[in-house]
Structure 1
Amino acid sequence: MHRHALFRKKTRSSGIWLRLLWGFGYFGVTVATLLSVLLLPALLSKFKMQSEENHSFLHQKQVHFIQVTDDVHTQAKTNNSRRSLRSREKHLQNLWRHPPTRGFEPCVSPSKDYSGIENPRGYLLVHANGGLNQMRAGICDMVAVARLINATLVIPQLDKRSFWKDSSTFSDVFDEEYFIKSLEKDIPIVRKLPKELSTALKAHKNFRSWSSAAYYQEEITRLWDDYKVIHAAKSDSRLANNDLPSDIQKLRCRVHYDALRFAPSIEAFGRNLLERMRSKGPFIALHLRYEKDMLAFSGCSHGLSSMQMEELTRIRESTSHWRVKLIDPKEQRLKGLCPLTPKEVGIFLEALGYPSTTRIYIAAGEIYGGNYSMAALQARFPNLLNKELLASPYELAPFRRKYGPCSRGPSSLFRSLENNKS
């Protein structure tokens, strides 16, 4: 009985503690619930505000960083563009700059021991051949040859057998009076043979190509023993370039750069063309060498149609004074003996750095293939000009009457005037 009483006493004591614990727990939960309901929104609101402030601060930092980075990139890009522009401008200046002389100076004055021909032994007749530039070079050689063989030079006859059938005489193209007077201290020059020799027996000679002074002074001068007149059938490449007496080389230069002055009408016409081109800044005078006679003579046909190739072959075979008839076009091109096509010239000029706005004067005759051949060059350099675009029909009329519509005349003359006087 004592045990049961003790057990009940302990049980009642345990129940009281349990009820107290439960009451405290219920009270705690209630208080916690009330606190969460009343305080949590305020805490969340404060946290959100702080979070937004932090985010705004970070965003401002990020925007500032991005802006600074963009500014640096933009500045670097601007600096690069300026450097690139300055580099291009400098390159263009170099393109138009005259080539360096490297210390060389004109040296055409004769030496102290040089004197004119006192007793010429006979007369030298010359038939110049080829295009205008070939004939100019040939005439320079023939003046030197006349000096070497003690001859009086008769005013040369220009080529009338060429593909272009140009009927020009020496006085049509060059200032004949000035030619005679400017060389009077070098060789005697007459306009035509004396009457008494017009029917005399002549030594017709095709001078050997690239010959030395000794060839003319020894082999050719022997002809004076039997003849009073020596006729040179051709003038191109008849005199060597090297190992000639200094006074002979100087004489050639004096002829080319002084004595062979163009006729006054041509000189004035050429000056007008040059002034019109130069009035808008620097320009390129381009001789393409892409004319029908050049392609037919050289046998070059790269990029041409089969019909064009056949036409060029017929021209070459029917021109009797062109010796070589069978030509392999591919082999010619591989050897570098062909002119560049207009397209290749455009690529070349572009690679050199000339801008597409560059003005180009086409100093040549009719381009073979016409607009079709010129299309690729025109696409790269639209500002292509020629004498027909620069001069009026009235200004061209005198030359058309003389040279004909397809002649080399004015174009070749402009090209030579540009090379000789610029």
Structure 2
Amino acid sequence: MCLLCTCLFIFNLWFVCSAPDESRGYLLVHTNGGLNQMRAGICDMVAVARIINATLVVPELDKRSFWQDTSNFSDVFDEDHFINALANDVKVIKKLPKDLSSATKVVMHFRSWSGLEYYRDEIASLWEEFQVIRAAKSDSRLANNHLPPDIQKLRCRACYKALRFSPKIEAMGKLLVDRMRAYGPFIALHLRYEKDMLAFSGCTHGLSDVEAEELRTIRENTAYWKIKDINATEQRSRGYCPLTPTEVGIFLTGLGYPSNTPIYIAAGEIYGGDTHMADLRSRYPILMSKEKLASVEELEPFTNHASQMAALDYIVSVESDVFIPSYSGNMARAVEGHRRFLGHRKTISPDRKALVRLFDKIEKGLLMEGRKVSNRISEIHKKLQGSPRRRRGPVSGTKGMDRFRSEEAFYVNPLPDCLCKRVSENVNASTASMR
């Protein structure tokens, strides 16, 4: 990619919108999900506010999700910067005016993946009766594709310019990056081998019967997780399970990373702790995390706040030399998109379905680790390293909501809407291998 072209295009990106039209009312937003699900939802609601000519009240963060985080918007994000950075696009205020606190509000579950017409016609018509519209959820409320260029660029401005983390999180994140850099070029590994992920997905490969039963109980007792009965073997064979720490070790070795490669573990508490991390640690001894890089006292302001701890991992992951997610969840998708926006920094996305076939052969003794396995792993992932490409459309043959659901999400790959369209065969230096 032409780096100069990228820089000029991004510079222009910040200044393409005309001033917002006169506000017709106020948009309240209740976000839902974890940090990265909320991030995408907030950015979409910025665009929705512009479309329906609303004044956006600083969104409320989800305090009822699995993590039960009590953080407010200003605890996680730089609130003043958010308001000022969007001043030319959308009017944003911290609180609803007092004279409207008792006004009748319409609570709306905006239709998923909706386009311009839905918001300009159906939602904007509510201003005739109400002064305040409340969005009950924020995730996936806006279409990924077929929106006007100015709206797509606004989504990028909101996500990559306006929605900056709070100063204390940014400072701590930078400190963690600097401390990782002291070990040399490093991989950020989003190791999604946490209790909640395994319980939700029903993945039990490599776990004991006791551990598998504990996860099944969690899934049964979590009311809003709709799928309860899961065939773990089938789930894994279809590529729907996060890689285990042992599998990650085989994968990294197969890609050719030497044992002295520094690795930052971007994750919460790994299920089973040292028991399940032993094999990965034997291959790659320089395994670091925020808890190892910083003292208890340094991390104390963020402890017990899942969104703030996740924000620290997000910063290190975006700034790493290579980012590798073991599962394509919200964090993995958000980081991949951000790294693409910053110049297609190297992101290796494991083909879990293909890898499971190799891992099973190794486990059964039908295949030995070595050059043959390495060549196969490298070949599979040759085109899965974050190189420039257009955002994928819907899966062929899908219809209705499934069609929109199957599209690659806007924040996973903002090309070409928010990046330079001129792409060369040679990926620029920022995406080069650290090896």
Report the TM-score, using the length of structure 2 for normalisation.
0.68
Larger % of helix: which?
1
Deviation at 1:113, TM superposition (A): 7.3
Deviation at 1:104, TM superposition (A): 6.7
User: Are the aligned partners of 1:364 and 1:412 in contact in 2 as well (CA < 8 Å)?
Assistant: no
Gaps of 5+ in 2: 319-337, 343-435
User: Are the aligned partners of 2:51 and 2:120 in contact in 1 as well (CA < 8 Å)?
Assistant: yes
1:105 aligned to 2:29? Answer: no
Gaps of 5+ in 1: 1-99
Equivalent residue number for residue 60 of structure 2: 157
SS of the counterpart of 2:180? helix
Q: 1:184, 1:208 → 2: CA distance?
A: 27
Question: Aligned letter for 1:387?
Answer: K
1:187–1:373 distance in 2 versus 1, CA, 3 Å: same
Equivalent residue number for residue 73 of structure 1: none
1:321–1:116 distance in 2 versus 1, CA, 3 Å: farther
Question: Aligned letter for 2:179?
Answer: R
Partner of residue 205 from structure 1, selected from 89, 99, 108: 108
Q: 1:177, 1:372 → 2: CA distance?
A: 45
SS of the counterpart of 2:6? coil
User: Are the aligned partners of 1:387 and 1:411 in contact in 2 as well (CA < 8 Å)?
Assistant: no
Partner of residue 175 from structure 2, selected from 272, 292, 300: 272
Equivalent residue number for residue 137 of structure 1: 40
Equivalent residue number for residue 410 of structure 1: 309
1:184–1:369 distance in 2 versus 1, CA, 3 Å: same
Equivalent residue number for residue 127 of structure 1: 30
Equivalent residue number for residue 141 of structure 2: 238
Partner of residue 217 from structure 1, selected from 102, 117, 120: 120
User: Are the aligned partners of 2:219 and 2:228 in contact in 1 as well (CA < 8 Å)?
Assistant: yes
Q: 1:322, 1:358 → 2: CA distance?
A: 38
Deviation at 1:112, TM superposition (A): 8.3
User: Are the aligned partners of 1:110 and 1:247 in contact in 2 as well (CA < 8 Å)?
Assistant: no
Q: 2:315, 2:144 → 1: CA distance?
A: 20
Q: 1:351, 1:158 → 2: CA distance?
A: 41
1:306–1:226 distance in 2 versus 1, CA, 3 Å: farther
Partner of residue 162 from structure 2, selected from 259, 262, 270: 259
Deviation at 1:321, TM superposition (A): 3.0
Q: 1:264, 1:245 → 2: CA distance?
A: 33
1:299 aligned to 2:202? Answer: yes
Deviations 1:3-57 (A, max 9, x none): xxxxxxxxxxxxxxxxxxxxxxxxxxxxxxxxxxxxxxxxxxxxxxxxxxxxxxx
User: Are the aligned partners of 2:172 and 2:312 in contact in 1 as well (CA < 8 Å)?
Assistant: no
User: Are the aligned partners of 1:133 and 1:416 in contact in 2 as well (CA < 8 Å)?
Assistant: no
1:170 aligned to 2:103? Answer: no
Partner of residue 333 from structure 1, selected from 206, 231, 236: 236
Equivalent residue number for residue 259 of structure 2: 356
Q: 2:41, 2:2 → 1: CA distance?
A: 27
1:235–1:103 distance in 2 versus 1, CA, 3 Å: same
User: Are the aligned partners of 2:13 and 2:157 in contact in 1 as well (CA < 8 Å)?
Assistant: no
Question: Aligned letter for 1:142?
Answer: M
Equivalent residue number for residue 375 of structure 1: 278
User: Are the aligned partners of 1:356 and 1:381 in contact in 2 as well (CA < 8 Å)?
Assistant: yes
SS of the counterpart of 2:18? coil
Deviation at 1:309, TM superposition (A): 2.5
How do 1:14-163 residues align onto structure 2 when only pairs under 5 Å count? Answer: 105=6, 107-108=9-10, 109=12, 114-163=17-66
SS of the counterpart of 1:270? helix
Deviations 1:211-247 (A, max 9, x none): 2222222222222222222221222222221111111
Q: 1:218, 1:111 → 2: CA distance?
A: 28
User: Are the aligned partners of 2:176 and 2:316 in contact in 1 as well (CA < 8 Å)?
Assistant: no
User: Are the aligned partners of 1:137 and 1:236 in contact in 2 as well (CA < 8 Å)?
Assistant: yes
Deviation at 1:154, TM superposition (A): 0.9
1:277–1:417 distance in 2 versus 1, CA, 3 Å: closer
CA RMSD across the alignment: 2.3
Asked which structure has the greater RCO (Cα within 8 Å, sep 6+), the reply is 2
1:329–1:227 distance in 2 versus 1, CA, 3 Å: farther
SS of the counterpart of 1:350? helix
Q: 1:248, 1:136 → 2: CA distance?
A: 17
Report the TM-score, using the length of structure 1 for normalisation.
0.70
Tell me how many residue pairs correspond in the alignment. 319
